[in-house]
């Protein structure tokens, strides 16, 4: 698996029973970039993520990550190209401990052979220990060691967000899709998120694509921003350009009298 590559989305469209959730959207994310997607509720931001993750089948368009044509892959193979993700509503494994969650994050690097696992062959223990070391690196990076043996169901909302980010990082992605990383966090926690995003880019060399509502966060970390409304692309540019864009203001604030 090579390093970060460009994510190229061309003319992407999807319809749900006549509703054009995403219509003819094209954009490209450069390796090492922090790319934000903004737009009002229901604009189709998360739908774009779910299309990239292959949870939805697009009605038209193409998605390529480097030389991988994502549309040829089933959903569980997407992470093998190096694309990890988090979810808007936090999808953790609730009844498992944080450690177990992070170990499942390593799944794409593991060999799950039921027979050797049943016998817990020596190789299984060796690989478990190796993966545990990788997991501990991520735990150190995000400073979540205190939750290691906690069940997810017992964790606070903010902690869950961090754990979900950690779990996505455990897969060692080269591109990370973050669905509203700061939603439900207080301003202090949101500041932490912006530092982590910078760290993740610098230390781990991960390209970041995020859906985000908090324009302060977007302004402070994003290199480029894409604004969409009603499934259609409005503008792509630097955070300042997007703030000034008349159409974006229109989409958020409504028609000027």
Minimum distance of another protein from residue 149's CB (angstroms): 8
Among 129, 255, 256, 257, binds another protein (CB under 8 A): 129
Which residue's CB is nearer to another protein, number 94 or number 240?
94
Among 1, 60, 145, 153, binds another protein (CB under 8 A): 153
Among 19, 60, 120, 199, binds another protein (CB under 8 A): 120
Strands (E), 137-252: 175-179, 207-211, 224-229, 232-237
Residue 44, token pair as written in the block: 């189709």
Bin 69: left if φ > 0, else alpha if -120 < ψ < 50, else beta. Answer: beta
Among 16, 157, 195, 252, binds another protein (CB under 8 A): 157
For the beta carbon of residue 10, count every other beta carbon within 10 angstroms: 14
Which residue from 174, 6, 8 is spatially nearest to 82, judged by alpha carbons? Answer: 174
Among 6, 71, 124, 159, binds another protein (CB under 8 A): 124
Residues 146, 167 contacting (CB under 8 angstroms): no
Which residue from 244, 183, 254, 188 is spatially nearest to 212, judged by alpha carbons? Answer: 183
The residue count for binding another protein (CB under 8 A) is 50
Relative to beta strand 224-229, strand 232-237 is antiparallel
Question: Considering the rule CB under 8 A, would residue 133 count as an interface residue with another protein?
Answer: yes
Q: Which stretch binds another protein (CB under 8 A): 127-135, 188-196, 220-228, 239-247?
A: 127-135
Q: By CB under 8 A, what part of segment 190-219 binds another protein?
A: none
Which residue's CB is nearer to another protein, number 162 or number 234?
162
Which residue's CB is nearer to another protein, number 72 or number 257?
72
For the beta carbon of residue 87, count every other beta carbon within 10 angstroms: 17
**Residue with tokens 């020596």, as numbered in its chain:** 122
Q: How far apart are CA 90 and CA 102, in angstroms?
A: 14
Question: Considering the rule CB under 8 A, would residue 126 count as an interface residue with another protein?
Answer: no
Q: By CB under 8 A, what part of segment 43-72 binds another protein?
A: 50, 53, 55
In sequence order, what are the beta bridge partners of 22? Answer: 14
Residues at the interface with another protein (CB under 8 A): 50, 53, 55, 74-80, 84-85, 87-96, 99-100, 103-105, 107-108, 110-114, 117-120, 124-125, 128-129, 132-133, 153-154, 157, 167, 171, 184
């Amino acid at each position: 698996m090579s390093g970060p590559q460009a994510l190229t989305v061309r003319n992407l469209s999807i319809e749900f029973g006549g509703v054009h959730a995403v219509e003819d959207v094209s954009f490209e994310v450069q390796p090492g970039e922090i790319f934000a997607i903004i737009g009002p509720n229901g604009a189709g931001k998360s739908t774009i993520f779910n299309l990239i993750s292959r949870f939805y089948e697009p009605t038209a368009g193409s998605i390529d990550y480097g030389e991988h044509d994502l549309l040829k892959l089933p959903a569980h193979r997407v992470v093998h190209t190096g694309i990890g993700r988090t979810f808007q509503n936090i999808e953790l494994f609730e009844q498992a401990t944080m450690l177990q969650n992070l170990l499942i994050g390593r799944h794409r690097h593991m060999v799950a052979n039921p027979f050797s696992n049943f016998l817990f062959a020596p190789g299984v223990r060796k690989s478990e220990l190796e993966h545990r070391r990788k997991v501990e690196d991520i735990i150190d990076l995000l400073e979540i060691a205190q939750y290691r043996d906690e069940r997810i169901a017992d964790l606070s909302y903010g902690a869950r967000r961090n754990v979900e980010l950690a779990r996505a990082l455990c897969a060692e992605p080269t591109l990370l899709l973050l669905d509203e990383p700061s939603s439900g966090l207080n301003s202090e926690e949101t500041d932490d998120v912006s530092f982590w995003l910078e760290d993740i880019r610098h230390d781990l060399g991960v390209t970041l694509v995020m859906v985000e509502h908090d324009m302060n966060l977007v302004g402070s970390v994003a290199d480029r921003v894409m604004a969409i409304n009603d499934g259609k692309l409005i503008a792509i540019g630097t955070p300042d350009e997007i703030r000034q864009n008349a159409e974006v203001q229109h989409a958020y604030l409504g028609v000027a009298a």
